[in-house]
Each structure stands twice: as structure tokens, then as C-alpha cells.
């Protein structure tokens, strides 16, 4: 993970697992979809 996650880790871990599974199966990655997120202390 590039940054510290300040909430529940379930969703990011599932996302990374699906991404790795797609890579193993040889599927093309989805295009990036940048979303805003909260950074603690800013």
C-alpha cells in the first residue's frame, strides 16, 4: 500500500487480492480511477 490506511483494511486488501489474481490469470488491469481520500492531519 502506498499510504497508511486510516480505516478498515478489508476493502483495500480485497482490492489488492483481486488485482494480484487478475495478474496471475493474465487479465488486463482495469484503468486507473482516481478517487479523493482523507489524509489524517491535513
Express each pLDDT in 1-38 by its tens digit.
Answer: 666 767 788 888 898 899 899 999 999 988 888 888 88
Q: What is the pLDDT of residue 27?
A: 94
Going by the DSSP 8-state scheme, the letter that residue 22 receives in this structure is H
CA distances to 10, 12, 14 from 26, rounded to whole Å, are 24, 21, 18
pTM of this structure: 0.56
The cell numbers describing 40, all together, are: 489524517
3-state secondary structure of 3: coil
Cβ contacts of 12 within 8 Å, gap of 6 or more: 1, 5
The C-alpha atoms of residue 11 and residue 33 are separated, in whole angstroms, by 16
Amino acid at each position: 500500500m502506498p499510504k497508511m490506511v486510516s480505516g478498515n483494511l478489508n476493502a483495500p486488501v480485497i482490492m489488492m487480492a483481486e488485482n494480484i489474481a487478475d495478474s496471475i490469470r493474465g487479465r488486463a488491469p482495469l484503468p486507473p480511477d482516481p478517487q479523493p481520500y482523507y489524509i489524517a492531519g491535513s
